[in-house]
Each structure stands twice: as C-alpha cells, then as structure tokens.
Structure 1
Amino acid sequence: MKYMLLIYSTESDWTEEERAACMAKSTEVCHELNEKGQFLTASPLHPVSMATSVRVREGKRMITDGPFAETTEQLGGYYIIDVENLDEAIAIAGQLPPAKKGTVEIRPIEEITDTPVPQN
C-alpha cells in the first residue's frame, strides 16, 4: 500500500547545521528505502514564506501569501512510500529526522485509476 508521510515542523526550531544534518540523514533513509523497493519519491518544500494559498468562495478566488493554516508547525516536505501495511509506514516515519523535532503524519494514498499518467 502507498502512504504519504507529511513532514511538519516549525522552521525556526532548526539551526542551519541541524537542517543540513537532517537533509543528509533523510537522503540516506531514501537510499535505504529504495534498496528495499519501498521508496517512490520525497522532497522538501521551500520555506513557508514562499507559500501561496488559493481559496474560492461564492465564485470569487482569493489569494493569500503564506499558508492558510495559522499554526506553528507547517508542512515542510513529504515522502511517498510503498509498504505492506501501516506498521511498516510507522517504523519508517520513526526513522525520519524531522520526527525528532516535529511531526510526521502518515496518510494512506487512495489510488485513482482513471487519471493520466505523467509524461516525463
């Protein structure tokens, strides 16, 4: 089953040194998962200051700089993995460096079969 691991943390909680170490360890985990056939993709996101939110209410589009949610933890990246069950996804989430300073939310991915396949 495919799972998305959503990485939430407070950007200001990370020093540049911690951020670099996190990226190095995260890359290492990606390679380990790839060797096991469990890795599909992963990517960090640009800082929340670069986010734009779009909402449509009563037919009117509203654009807001920054994220819609006003919380201290913001979405900072994601992994998509393919594992046997939730227990395996939980074990992987626990290996991710951001779990030590933030939150890793695990969501099963619902596969939709009639959407187009990306052309690379």
Structure 2
Amino acid sequence: MKYLCLVYYDETKMEKLSQTEWDDLNQECIACVEGLSASGHFIDGAPLMTTDTALSLRIRNEKPLITDGPFAETKEQLAGFYMLEARDMNDALRLAQKIPPARYGTVEVRPVRELKHDNNDR
C-alpha cells in the first residue's frame, strides 16, 4: 500500500540554520532516500520551495480565485513529501521515522486512497 509522508517545519526556524547545518540536513535526506530506495520502499518525493513562492487556487462560482501563499496560516509549513510503499500503517510509521526533517517539525503519514477506474474509461 502507498503512504504519503508530508514533511512540515517552521520556515523561520529553518532559516536560522547555518549553511553547514542546512547542507548536512540535505545530505541526510539524500542518504535517507537512497536507503528507502534500496529497500524498495521509496516511490517518489521532493522538497518544496518556501511558501513565499506558493499560490493557492480555489474555484468559486465557476471562476478561479488565486491568492498568494499557502491555503492556511499555520505554525509549520509544508516543506516536501515522500511517497512510500509499506505493508501497513505501522510499517509506514517505522519508515517515516527515518525522514531527517522530522527532528525539526512534523511528518504527517497518510494512506493513499486508490481510485477505481471504470473499465469503460480505457
């Protein structure tokens, strides 16, 4: 089963890391992906740019409404994601514990809901 691990942290705290600390964290993330890939658990993932580069889109009355920034003002911001293959939630949580930025914020682990395709759609 697929699990999405959403990585959140407070951008203002991360901005205070030295360049060496930031580089070390990035190298840890690369090593984490290599380990998860080698064990067959890593499907996909990517870090995100900071929230000041984000736009939010909503459709209201059939018209797009675009605003600057993320949808919600929160203490922590979405920083990236890991898509993992795991047996069950316990296995996904065990794997998510290896994600280095968990030390700085939160990793939300959610099962991916598979949509059933209508056979006529092929």
- TM class by shorter-chain length? 0.7 to 0.9
Q: 1:58 deviation in Å?
A: 2.4
TM-score, normalising length from structure 2?
A: 0.87
Is 1:52 matched with 2:55? yes
After superposition, the C-alpha distances for 1:39-90 in whole angstroms (9 at most, x for unaligned) are 1111000111000001122233211111110012111100001011111111
Residue type of the partner of 2:5?
L
Match of residue 11 from structure 2? 11
Q: CA–CA distance in 2 between the matches of 1:74 and 1:67?
A: 8
- Once superposed, what is the RMSD of the aligned Cα atoms? 1.5
Secondary structure of residue in 2 paired with 1:95: coil
Query: What is aligned with 2:67?
Result: 64
Q: Which consecutive residues of structure 1, in runs of 5 or more, have no partner in the other structure?
A: 116-120
Alignment partner, residue 118 of structure 1: none
Q: Secondary structure at the match of 1:29?
A: helix
Could you tell me the TM-score, scaled by structure 1's length? 0.88
Task: State the one-letter code of the partner of 2:4.
Answer: M
Q: For residues 42 and 17 of structure 1, what CA distance do their matches in structure 2 show?
A: 23
Q: Take 1:33 and 1:97, find their aligned partners in 2: how far apart are those partners?
A: 12
Cα offset for 1:29? 0.9
Instruction: After superposition, give the CA deviation of every residue in 1:10-43 in whole Å (9 maximum; x if it has no partner).
Output: 1121213333222111110111111111111110
Q: Which residue of 2 aligns with 1:39?
A: 42
Unaligned residue ranges in structure 2 (runs of 5+): none
Shift of 1:113: 4.6
Q: 1:103 and 2:103 equivalent?
A: no
Aligned residue identity for 2:10: T
**Seq. identity, %:** 37
- Provide the rounded CA distance (Å) in 1 between the counterparts of 2:116 and 2:41: 21
Pick the structure with greater CA Rg: 2
